[in-house]
Structure 1
Amino acid sequence: MFLVDSHCHLDSLDYQTLHTSVDDVVEKARARDVKFMLAVATTLPGYRAMADLIGPRPEVAFSCGVHPLNIEEGYDFEELRILAADSRVVAMGETGLDYFYQKEDFQLKLQQDSFRHHIRVGRELNKPVIVHTRDARQDTLDILREEQAGECGGVLHCFTEDKNTAKVLLDLGFYISFSGIVTFRNAEQLREAARYVPMDRLLIETDSPYLTPVPHRGKENQPSYVRDVAEYLAVVKGVSLDTLAVATTENFSRLFHIDSARLA
């Protein structure tokens, strides 16, 4: 079996008390059949530090981008393009919109401009966008349409929206990724959306160190726990774990243009 954690923050894990090294995290994941992971950046300095921490590894790919809550200090758009052009980078982001914490007009405008720029660079480099959205459903969908994000493709990561939003994203050619939230007791609307999303558009993730799935609630999340997301989602979808593993791994390979030989 081959499982992929399509979204984790390897640079943010607890290397003081929980893990001795990135090697330790990778081995814990491999012990549970999680054999590849996408390490996601949230700032440009953070991307450089993350790449230095992890180094070249056959089982880890990188994204490069600036999270919508990290753009107020500004960043160099050209630097983003240069860093994202690196062959180790397979995606832009995470990018998107988050109106939960920021509500001022100038803050929303900064987020929207940054989101548009990530999509434009993604189209230029033919690298998909990893999209974060919170309390910004309509603006997120509008910008994806206006910027023709379907040309580079992408994924709505850590999906927490409803079935109707899933339909729009699927119509745009996007993939949808489910995290540990799908295992939460009060997440029935999310499970309904998961039942709706076809197997060929489905991804799984941890978003570690955040959003730890049942039965590990209260602990820091880590890539090995994507196995728990997969097991739960397989039940929701009414398929075997092997079937879900094959589908989500193939989807990951296709979306991020990663040679399937690396995922075998």
Structure 2
Amino acid sequence: MRQLIPEPPRGGFEPDLSEIYAYPGHVRRWLRANMVASADGAAQADGASRGLSGPADVRVLRALRGLADVVLVGAATVRTEGYLRPAVPRTEFAAARAAAGQPPAAAIAVVSASLEVDFDSPLYTEAVTPTITVTTGEAPPERLRQAEAAGEVLIAGEGERVDLGGAVDLLADSGRGRLLCEGGPTLLGAMVRAGRLDELCLSVSPQLRAGSGLRILDGPELAAPLSLNLHTLLTEDGFLFARYLVM
């Protein structure tokens, strides 16, 4: 992998992804999103993002998970992307996580108002760090009891939609402020509208898709564009890995 921006020292070196993507040390809460898109902006290939990914993209994903306290993902993405298993401990991040007081692996947090989630899946039953379910006070009572038996439950909001801003604040208040949103596009769009996105990590896949598929944000048009500042740009195997900070 090569670093393009900022320009590395002469002679070049293999960038340390743990340093490139380190969370700011001076903030209580920082939410970054990680998404992949084709060169023409498609966020899915045949209904999922897997067809856009590659080995270098997976390396970046593992680094981002290795640094996070919690990985937020929508229930629809759990189903379409096949989130069958939780995040796992990785040797290369073990010392840094222990020094930071983090558990061996990030917790996955599934966001669902309806709780149409398989609580018997390995995502829940095999989690080293218990999987979190984020829902509302209006969740179906029986499904809520199943969620509580399967792991931690966060109640964010009392209506039919999860209060994402409130959920992020609850996690930060519990000392889990290094947050990673893996989408999908609907969840990310809602996070942006809630004003909680601090950073976007975008992998640009070297392929064209065309069609009318989703972009990385889905939902109503924003009242005003969200301005981004390019912080870092890496490349490998034709992919571009951009780290943008919200201005």
Compute the TM-score of the two structures, normalised by the length of structure 2.
0.38
Q: Specify the structure having the higher radius of gyration (Cα).
A: 2
Name the structure with the higher strand share. 2
Higher relative contact order, chain-length normalized (CA < 8 Å, sep 6+): 2
Name the structure with the higher helix share. 1
